[in-house]
Amino acid sequence: MNMHDSIDLDALLVRQRAAWSANTPSVAQRMRDLGSLREVLKRRFDELAEAMSADFGRRSRHESLLTDGMTVLQEIDHMRRHLARWSRSRHRLADWLFWPARTEVQYRPLGVVGIISPWNYPVNLALIPLVSAIAAGNHVMLKPSEHTPRTSALLRDLLAEVFPEERVATILGGPELAARFAALPFDHLFFTGSTEVGRKVMAAAAPNLTPVTLELGGKSPAIIAPDYPIETAAQRIAAGKLLNAGQTCIAPDYVLVPNDRREAFVEEMRAYVARHYPHLQTTPDYTSIVHDGHYRRLHALADEARQAGATVISLPDESAHDPERRVFAPTLIIDPDPALRVMQEEIFGPILPVIGYARIEEAIAFVNARPRPLAFYHFDRQRRRTGQVVRSVLAGGVTVNDCILHIAQSELPFGGVGPSGMGHYHGRAGFLTFSKQMPVLYQARWSAMALLRPPYTKLADFVTRMLTR
């Protein structure tokens, strides 16, 4: 057993809950804490970028700064800008029958929340839900991924600079500890990871009736309309797909292209790789696959498709794969059989199936015949058709004429639907997820309800007839 797996999680939860009950963080305290977290994160982000690169074997520093740095700072700034307003009680108009009573909604912290974060964006996906939970006035227990041990340890040290353990505790450990963590009676449990593990987390939380937010995955499709510029579509899809070497939950997982434009799309993808990654094995801008097991899995997906007769194209060529450095070259699979694993499983790597279609209605039907995706991408310059396509597909989120960018919008809620997840966060959606919207009614000195109490009279008969007609 790992030394971390022996941690008394129950005792820690009791201490955090007692501390929260004794001194629930005020809005002013939350603002100060978020400001302190911002300063520490900014000061130590070079260390975090180095730790992430070491954990992956090689990770683009610029991508780390953008996806795990800028996005978190942006979220903190957005929370601090709006928190005072969001936290104020909101008065509501009582239904006329209950006048002159008045009502309001109070936004109250839940207590102690648990967060289980993944390895692929180990800072972003740990800290953005944590920022939401802190902004809402909660205490937090964070379980980061064991697959990025250096980053997780540094996160623990960084958070300890800002918060005492009774407010924010970072728990390091493997799957056994994660299972015990998910079974704790939190006031809310937030999980980011695969759909398979998400089911286990939900099952572990169920005996305690712990509410859960599940940020899962799935196969996020892209559709290119017949008359959309293929060069632009290929460039933007490639950028979204190759970010973090495809190890992104909302990376485009397959693309639907008009039949007569598949070859052009392949050539534009080839040109993009040649232009942006001219020396794939040595460039610091292309991220390695996180561990050997995942690297082998990606090769297995491509090999199965090749053996089944699909055309498999590695860019720039097969020699670009480097198992020692876990460099997996961008790979296209042309018209794979839908029964193949590459079309059934979330890829989570730089493999992109390219599927031809004759009519755009066929592309929509192909998407809708599969589980609802976490993200959907549509490339189109016809506004009316774009609206029709977007209305036809239910997804966790949508970006039109680009990929991934909707996740970086603080004003937009982020979350899945169906097997791609439940619940939302980012911005006000995150604040609400970690808050109880508590309704309060203030009765007046005189109430019309006194007319509707036994013994019921003819007046009560008249009133009930009027109200139920």
**Helix pair 71-87, 124-135: axis angle to 10 deg:** 10
Q: Are 157 and 48 in contact (CB under 8 A)?
A: no
d(CA 135, CA 27): 8
- 3-class state of residue 139 by DSSP: strand
Which residues have CB under 8 Å from 455's CB, separation 6+? none
Element (H, E) at 269: helix 262-276
> Which residue among the candidates 39, 50, 231, 249 is catalytic per the annotation?
249
Q: Are 167 and 139 in contact (CB under 8 A)?
A: yes
> Which residue among the candidates 63, 75, 215, 346 is catalytic per the annotation?
215
Element (H, E) at 357: strand 351-357
Phi, psi for residue 36 in degrees, rounded to 5: -65, -40
Q: Give the CA distances from residue 360 to residues 218, 252, 261, 266, 354, in Å, rounded to whole numbers and listed in that order.
A: 22, 18, 13, 19, 15
d(CA 257, CA 255): 6
Give me the DSSP letters along 45-79: HHHHHHHHHHHHSS--HHHHIIIIIIHHHHHHHHH
Q: How many CB atoms lie within 10 A of CB 445?
A: 5
Q: Is 403 a catalytic residue?
A: no
d(CA 222, CA 426): 23
Q: How many CB atoms lie within 10 A of CB 327?
A: 23
Q: Give the CA distances from residue 407 to residues 374, 404, 424, in Å, rounded to whole numbers and listed in that order.
A: 11, 6, 11
d(CA 384, CA 463): 50
Q: What share of the chain is helix, strand, coil (3-state, %, to 5)?
A: 50, 20, 35
Please, what is the end-to-end C-alpha distance for the chain in angstroms?
68
The residues that bridge with 191 in the sheet, in sequence order, are 116, 214
**Helix pair 71-87, 27-56: axis angle to 10 deg:** 160
Region for 54 from its dihedrals, namely left if φ exceeds 0, alpha if ψ lies in -120 to 50, beta otherwise: alpha
Q: Is 176 a catalytic residue?
A: no
- Assign 3-class secondary structure to 32-50: HHHHHHHHHHHHHHHHHHH
Q: Give the CA distances from residue 77 to residues 276, 315, 350, 363, 401, in Å, rounded to whole numbers and listed in that order.
A: 32, 40, 32, 40, 27
The residues assigned a catalytic role are 215, 249
